[in-house]
Structure 1
Amino acid sequence: MSKTPPQCPMDAILRLLMGPWTTYIIWVLNDQGPQRFGVLKRSVPGISTRMLTERLRMLQGAGVIWREQAETIPPAVTYGLTPRGNDLRSVLDALGTIAERWKAEGVFQDDDLGAV
């Protein structure tokens, strides 16, 4: 009889957040509040429209962000953090503080992990 090891309760959430650009998008929405798609794209330099759309759909599906579409021409689409997304604020703020300290201590080189 094979036993599967117990799952770490953080594994699923960390896999969700590890996706490309995911934490950056959440950080922008946390820092700047709800954003229209175009403003959000400009706030995440280097991300393609396709990747931003994919990440936003994934985060919306996970209940981390909400999406609101105004019936205008062209449609005005706005994204923001849900209560579940707001649950991440203190954790991401703490990680940001640690990252800044580690960066100041020289743990990261300029090319390591991108901009912190």
Structure 2
Amino acid sequence: MEQRVFEEKIHRFNTEMPEYCPITYSMKIIGSKWKIPILWKLMLEDGQHYNHLKRMVGNITNTMLTKSLRELEEAKLLERHDDKTVPPSVTYHLTNLGKELIYTMEGLFDWGQEIHDARES
């Protein structure tokens, strides 16, 4: 990034900064170790059952997955759909607000890929 562009962005942050920090606020919502991987997997394959999502995410415990899913639901980033069947069938879906994170995730994806490629070469 050019120094001029960097300085313009910093100037914007300094002049438009509200009483709270939007980055800190955002990180309170999605900043735990597991929330971004959960959101990412749901972006790739929306409408996942709990056990499938657990397998997709990897080494997450049941406690952490349940806690993270509840917090993401409370933040209105995903919805839990209970089909009210026996045996229980529950799926998790991104809300429109959760889907808006695709732009942020795309930026993180591109940035991570760029850094990875630079370190590998």
TM-score range, shorter chain: 0.7 to 0.9
Between the aligned partners of 1:13 and 1:21, the Cα distance in structure 2 is 15
Q: Which runs of 5+ in 1 are unaligned?
A: 108-116
| Structure 1 residue 100: Cα displacement | 1.1
Cα offset, 1:86, TM superposition: 0.8
Match of 2:37 in 1: 24
Q: Aligned equivalents of 2:88 and 2:72: distance in 1?
A: 20
The answer to whether residue 111 in structure 2 is matched with residue 98 in structure 1 is yes
Q: Which has the higher helix share?
A: 2
Q: What are the superposed Cα offsets for residues 66-108 of structure 1, whole Å, 9 maximum, x if unpaired?
A: 000111122101001001101101111111111111111129x
Scaled by the length of structure 2, the TM-score of the pair is 0.79
Query: Percent identity over the alignment?
Result: 31
- Tell me which stretches of 4 or more aligned residues in structure 1 moved more than 2 Å: none
Specify every segment of 5 or more residues in structure 2 that has no aligned partner in the other structure, as ranges.
1-17
For normalisation by structure 1, the TM-score amounts to 0.83
Name which of 38, 54, 74 aligns with 2:87.
74
Give, in angstroms, the shift of residue 9 of structure 1: 2.1
Distance 1:9 1:21 in 2: 20
Which residues in structure 2 correspond to 1:1-116 (within 5 Å)?
A: 6-106=19-119
Tell me which residue corresponds to 1:110: none
**SS across alignment from 2:115:** helix
Task: Note the C-alpha offset of 1:16.
Answer: 1.6
* Cα offsets for 1:26-68 (capped at 9, x unmatched): 0000011210111101101101111100000000000000000
